A and B are shown apart, each in its own frame.
Chain A
Amino acid sequence: MNPIARLFDQRVRGFRIIEVAALACLVLMVFWVYLAKAGAGRERAEITRIERDIATEQKALRLLRAEAAHLEQPARIEALAEQQLGLEPVPVKREARPESLIEIARATGGGPR
């Protein structure tokens, strides 16, 4: 009797070992599939929840962006700067570039010694 045939013939308390092993395997696999599916379901629910949160936040963000655009519009800022802060455009003669600072300092008598 070859070993393979013996494997099929060996019994424990009247059950073929191979059948018991196959059954155990099957039960394990069913259990594993259940676990995997349950886990995936949970993850999916979590993803959906987060995506819904993102959508809600993005809607709020759009609203805030529109509000900011309204509040930041140049015409409004200009009016506020003039009325509330008393700011006004810089006269041309008081504009200066960083490169010309030394010349200006010399001209006004305070240059490097």
Chain B
Amino acid sequence: MRPVDLLTHPAVPSWRWLTEQVWSLEHAFERSKAEAKPEEDTRVRIFFVLAAFACAFLLMIFGAARAALFSDARRGGFVPASATTRADVVDRNGMLMAADLVHFGLYVDPAEVWDPAETRRGLLSVMPDLPYAKLQRALNGERRTFVAGGLTPQQKARLHALGLPGVSFEEEDRRVYPLGVSAAHLVGFSDSGGRGLAGVEKALDTSIREGGRAGAPVALSIDLRVQAALENELRAAAASQSADGAVGIVTDVKTGEIIAMASWPDYDPNAPGAASPNAMKNRAAAAVYEMGSTFKVFTVAMGLDTGAASLTSTFDATAPMKIGSRAIRDFHAENREMTLEDVFIHSSNIGTSRLALAMGEDAMARYFGALGLLAPAEVELVESARPIVPRRWNADTIASASFGHAISVTPLQLAAAMGAVLNGGEYVPLTIRKLKPGEAPKGKRVVSPATSRAMLDLMRLNVVRGTGSKANAPGLRVGGKTGSAEKVIGGRYDRSRLVSSFAAVFPTDGPIDGRRYFVLILMDEPKGNAETFGLRTGGWTTAPVAGRVIDRIAPFLGVERAADPYFTAVGDRVPLEETQSGGGLGQ
């Protein structure tokens, strides 16, 4: 039966026809033998084998053509979608601070370029700032050359739309800091090869690279809202005081987490090459200052902790104190016997010097060491600088150090040491990493909880009726200590150039191991203005800034306004209080 018959006999199943064909093929050998034509048998078999091979080849041709035309192979395999060179850096609430974004490198292959002049014109019309000489070299060269990197997807699309032959693009990761100058010193920056060079980018380089491979962000201890408020106030104050530089730090004294850290002047980490070294310096970590009277917090704490003095001990401040040929004076001389409380509140250099001498060199050096004031601040940042400490401790140097002279430390060291005095008495290293909720690192005990409590109360008193009154944010129970150190210019203290600072803590009440925040505001050479009556000391320049910062950041940190024995929750003075009026001068 032939295939044609099938059409006319639809009832005959097709498998029967197939069987008959196979059957006739199978019997061809016998048939040809019977018909005495053996050559025909061979011919049939050769035909059969050829036909089979032809079919196979046809199939393969079809397959190959399909693979060539419709395959996905040339579009590249699968790459993990979230993998980048460096991980995202986010703040403690997950807000983005640094990210790798896809940019494009521009390449020119002169062998494929039709018209170099037109290509050059086209490229420059879209990107006028292309390096002309480099482009010219690439167009006249012999092989495919890199011309420019960091093209945004929009720029690439516009160049691509020109349809210039010989112009191609390659993907590259580029580090972007969407916040610009905000937290610039803290975040730092990395090079185009993906290596961290400064700030967090350098300090946490390994974690950031690992995070990039895993697609997991690196969380910092920073709270961007606190950071923004701090920067905003610091910038405004530094500009109005025409300061040379300024530093702001907010830390959690319990955990050592740095909640905000600002240095002024600032720079844009998206273009670090355009910034001056002065602007790029992280003054919070890399600059050392003689801090002045904020050190009295340490001296008084040591005095209380060693038992060398109590709050009611008296010190003779009737006249300048002589050590060798040197006379130590008070900035605002009271010329009277003072209790330790008065020494602190009136910021008496004579009083703290007498206390330091009573404790002796060894005790002072031991406490300074335990407070981390004699070594670089323990923090991940590589910028953390070495302090300048006296070569040897003697009567002269310990008297000076008792009110923050003769020893230069970084603002971060001061923040860590203050944390130890104010958190119940344990030194906790600072960190820029976000700790898990409830995680509190074990610290080294420096002073007793009772001493810590006494210092919190003293600092509160200093704001209520001492030199720090301008830092009193309503209802937030702020405590603090002013500092105004004369700078050493040409080996001599220059009375007109000050480093003014204010070390604040809030809230000062509540349990000794409760949540508490330290705020440091420091200004390098404030010039004074009409608002401060030309005064440059900490009580006038930095204390108000600290107060405004605390007022703004308290809601973010979950500190609510409340009354204390001195002020109501809205900042009205509680009557019937034997107060001396505040607003004095800080030395």
A59/B23 contact (C-beta < 8 A), A74-B228, A92-B475 known: no
Q: Which residues of A contact B100 (CB under 8 A)?
A: 62
Report yes or no: B81 in contact with A92, Cβ–Cβ below 8 A: no
* Interface residue tally for chain A (C-beta within 8 Å): 30
Report yes or no: B96 in contact with A65, Cβ–Cβ below 8 A: yes
Report yes or no: A69 in contact with B23, Cβ–Cβ below 8 A: no
A88 interface residue (CB < 8 Å to B): no
A73/B178 contact (C-beta < 8 A), A52-B75, A92-B561, A92-B570 known: yes
Task: Please name the residue on chain A nearest to B99 by beta carbon.
Answer: A66
Pick the contact of B72 from A45, A54, A62, A73 — CB < 8 Å? Answer: A45
* Interface residue tally for chain B (C-beta within 8 Å): 37
Report yes or no: A48 in contact with B77, Cβ–Cβ below 8 A: yes
- Chain A residues 75 to 89 lying within 8 A of chain B, measured CB to CB, are 75, 78, 89
* Bound-state Cα–Cα, A74 to B79, Å: 35
A58 interface residue (CB < 8 Å to B): yes
How far is the CB of A49 from the nearest CB of chain B, in Å?
A: 7
A13 interface residue (CB < 8 Å to B): yes
How far is the CB of B544 from the nearest CB of chain A, in Å?
A: 15
Task: Please name the residue on chain A nearest to B71 by beta carbon.
Answer: A45
A93/B77 contact (C-beta < 8 A), A63-B101, A66-B178, A74-B225 known: no
Report yes or no: B178 in contact with A70, Cβ–Cβ below 8 A: yes
A73/B570 contact (C-beta < 8 A), A63-B153, A92-B474 known: no
A55 interface residue (CB < 8 Å to B): yes
Pick the contact of A48 from B72, B225, B228, B570 — CB < 8 Å? Answer: B72
Residue-by-residue, is B19-49 near A (CB-CB < 8 Å gives 1, otherwise 0)?
1000100100000000000000000000000
A73/B224 contact (C-beta < 8 A), A58-B81, A63-B153, A65-B96 known: yes
Pick the contact of A66 from B82, B176, B225, B571 — CB < 8 Å? Answer: B176
Q: Which residues of A contact B561 (CB under 8 A)?
A: 92, 95
How far is the CB of A26 from the nearest CB of chain B, in Å?
A: 16
* Bound-state Cα–Cα, A14 to B22, Å: 12
Pick the contact of B81 from A54, A65, A66, A74 — CB < 8 Å? Answer: A54
Report yes or no: B95 in contact with A69, Cβ–Cβ below 8 A: yes
* Bound-state Cα–Cα, A66 to B179, Å: 9
B319 interface residue (CB < 8 Å to A): no
Report yes or no: B228 in contact with A51, Cβ–Cβ below 8 A: no
How far is the CB of A105 from the nearest CB of chain B, in Å?
A: 17
A49/B72 contact (C-beta < 8 A), A13-B23, A62-B99, A92-B474 known: yes
B102 interface residue (CB < 8 Å to A): yes
Report yes or no: A59 in contact with B182, Cβ–Cβ below 8 A: no
B382 interface residue (CB < 8 Å to A): no
Report yes or no: A75 in contact with B75, Cβ–Cβ below 8 A: no
- Chain B residues 475 to 533 lying within 8 A of chain A, measured CB to CB, are 475
B318 interface residue (CB < 8 Å to A): no
Report yes or no: A74 in contact with B101, Cβ–Cβ below 8 A: no
Task: Please name the residue on chain B nearest to A45 by beta carbon.
Answer: B72
Which residue, of B78, B182, B552, has the highest number of chain A Cβ atoms within 10 A?
Answer: B78
Residue-by-residue, is A10-36 near B (CB-CB < 8 Å gives 1, otherwise 0)?
000110000000000000000000000
B335 interface residue (CB < 8 Å to A): no
Report yes or no: B101 in contact with A66, Cβ–Cβ below 8 A: yes
Q: Which residues of A contact B552 (CB under 8 A)?
A: 89
Q: Which residues of B contact A63 (CB under 8 A)?
A: 101-102, 153
Report yes or no: B78 in contact with A52, Cβ–Cβ below 8 A: yes
- Chain B residues 55 to 101 lying within 8 A of chain A, measured CB to CB, are 72, 75, 77-79, 81-82, 95-97, 99-101
* Bound-state Cα–Cα, A48 to B180, Å: 37
Q: Which residues of A contact B99 (CB under 8 A)?
A: 62, 65-66, 69
Pick the contact of B96 from A51, A69, A75 — CB < 8 Å? Answer: A69
Q: Which residues of A contact B19 (CB under 8 A)?
A: 13
Q: Which residues of B contact A95 (CB under 8 A)?
A: 561, 570
Report yes or no: A66 in contact with B96, Cβ–Cβ below 8 A: yes
Report yes or no: B153 in contact with A48, Cβ–Cβ below 8 A: no
Residue-by-residue, is B352-391 near A (CB-CB < 8 Å gives 1, otherwise 0)?
0000000000000000000000000000000000000000
Q: Which residues of A contact B97 (CB under 8 A)?
A: 69
Task: Please name the residue on chain B nearest to A71 by beta carbon.
Answer: B178
B231 interface residue (CB < 8 Å to A): yes
Shortest 9 CB-CB contacts between residues of A and residues of B: A74-B228, A69-B96, A55-B81, A70-B178, A69-B178, A92-B474, A66-B178, A58-B81, A54-B81
Beyond known contacts A69-B95, A74-B229: 11 more, CB 8 A cutoff = A45-B72, A52-B78, A63-B102, A65-B96, A67-B178, A68-B96, A69-B96, A69-B99, A73-B180, A78-B228, A92-B570
Q: B residues near A, CB below 8 A?
A: 19, 23, 26, 72, 75, 77-79, 81-82, 95-97, 99-102, 153, 176, 178-180, 182, 224-225, 227-229, 231-232, 474-475, 552, 560-561, 570-571
- 30 A-B contacts, Cβ less than 8 Å apart? A13-B19, A45-B72, A48-B72, A48-B78, A49-B72, A51-B78, A52-B75, A55-B79, A58-B81, A59-B101, A62-B99, A62-B101, A65-B96, A66-B101, A66-B176, A69-B96, A69-B97, A70-B179, A70-B180, A73-B224, A73-B228, A74-B225, A74-B227, A75-B182, A75-B231, A75-B232, A78-B228, A89-B552, A92-B475, A97-B560
Q: A residues near B, CB below 8 A?
A: 13-14, 45, 47-49, 51-52, 54-55, 58-59, 62-63, 65-70, 72-75, 78, 89, 92-93, 95, 97
